[in-house]
Structure 1
């Protein structure tokens, strides 16, 4: 299998330059401030229009990534594509089933084990964000190899 085209690799790196710092910043903050989150979650879900708007924005952002990034060649491209799908599905869930999302978040926040696992999850996402940032800003595309060589 050949590597992705240089254009596809550049598009992947462009997405990584945006997604990486965003994910690294916010997941680090979430991991640190997680215990304070229960009040904020309660306030958010008390305003159904805010939940709908948040879900719509997340769905739209995820669909932008899905629509503009169609490359699945290499770990960086797979990570960017999976991020788009993850954000789109989370947004769709907020639009379609906000009560289910709210109960899941509350169950996690009320369990010490759930909070620990959420912190580990957000910490792992922060590391992924740093890796995306590095790959997006400090690496370059690899030359595409031909699928076959003429003798």
Structure 2
């Protein structure tokens, strides 16, 4: 199961990282629209919470770097979802502090691409 999840997350991270690197302004628009729609913020938080909980409950493995990465992604998803459900305004404010910096966004995009590739091929 670890290999399957690592590959799925890797594909997503490469695609999302490339999208962010290519069009950083789009990422800013997405965040603004996500924040402006409370129902969307709630729904996104609910989906992340459910997905994160499912991952944590089925894949909470702390041995071997691919398994640890998948587990950390699950925990991250769960925590992010809970934050979107409980303190969406404060959480979006924290996210937006990093977004205006083109350099930080590019570093994040490159990190996502490299981590995604590592999850697929290592």
1:123 corresponds, among 110, 116, 122, to: 110
Q: Which of the residues 86, 107, 118 maps onto 1:96?
A: 86
In the aligned structure 2, how far is the partner of 1:59 from the partner of 1:27? 22
Q: For 2:19, which of 22, 29, 34 is the aligned residue?
A: 29
Deviation, structure 1 residue 32: 2.4
Structure with the bigger percentage of helix: 2
Structure showing greater Rg: 1
Q: Does 1:63 align with 2:42?
A: no
- Measured in 2, the distance between the counterparts of 1:16 and 1:98 equals 28
TM-score, normalising length from structure 1? 0.73
Deviation of 1:126 after TM superposition, in Å, equals 1.5
Q: How many residues align?
A: 122
Q: Which residue of 2 aligns with 1:139?
A: none
Root mean square deviation, CA, Å:
1.6
TM superposition outliers: structure 1 runs of 4+ over 6 Å: none
5+ long unaligned stretches in structure 1: 1-10, 136-151
Q: CA deviation at 1:74?
A: 0.9
- Kept in 1: contact 2:10–2:116 (CA 8 A): yes
Contact 1:35 1:109 in 2 (8 A): no
